[in-house]
């Protein structure tokens, strides 16, 4: 349910756009460099298949999943477009 002058589904469209933008930014910055043999978080060996699939990888799958679940601060994109959202 949208309110005011917006159509139904507009809020979900904004959420979807924000997620799509974040994914695009993440994909635009692939890991670089030689990578690591051992995870920088837990010290366990990173499987060779993962190192070949993701050049520059520095974490094992378990640690990367934990990192991905951490909350990310706002990205600074104002999709609401009103002055109240710009004052925060």
Give the tens place of pLDDT for each residue, 41-84: 999 999 999 998 888 899 999 999 999 898 876 656 656 665 55
| pTM as predicted | 0.50
pLDDT at 86 exceeding the cut of 50: yes
CB within 8 Å of 66: residues ≥ 6 apart: 41
Q: What one-character-per-residue DSSP string does 34-67 give?
A: S--SB-TTT-PBPPHHHHHHSTT--S-HHHHHHH
Give the tens place of pLDDT for each residue, 10-45: 888 888 999 989 888 877 777 677 889 999 999 999
Indicate the domain borders of the chain: 1-30, 31-70
């Amino acid at each position: 349910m949208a309110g005011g002058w917006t159509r139904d589904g507009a809020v979900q469209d904004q959420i979807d756009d924000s997620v799509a933008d974040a994914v695009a930014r993440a994909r635009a910055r692939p890991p670089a460099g030689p990578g690591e043999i051992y995870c920088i978080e837990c010290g366990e060996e990173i499987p060779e298949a993962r190192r070949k699939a993701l050049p520059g990888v520095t974490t094992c799958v378990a640690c990367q999943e934990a990192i991905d679940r951490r909350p990310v601060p706002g990205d600074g994109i104002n999709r609401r477009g009103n002055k109240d959202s710009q004052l925060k």
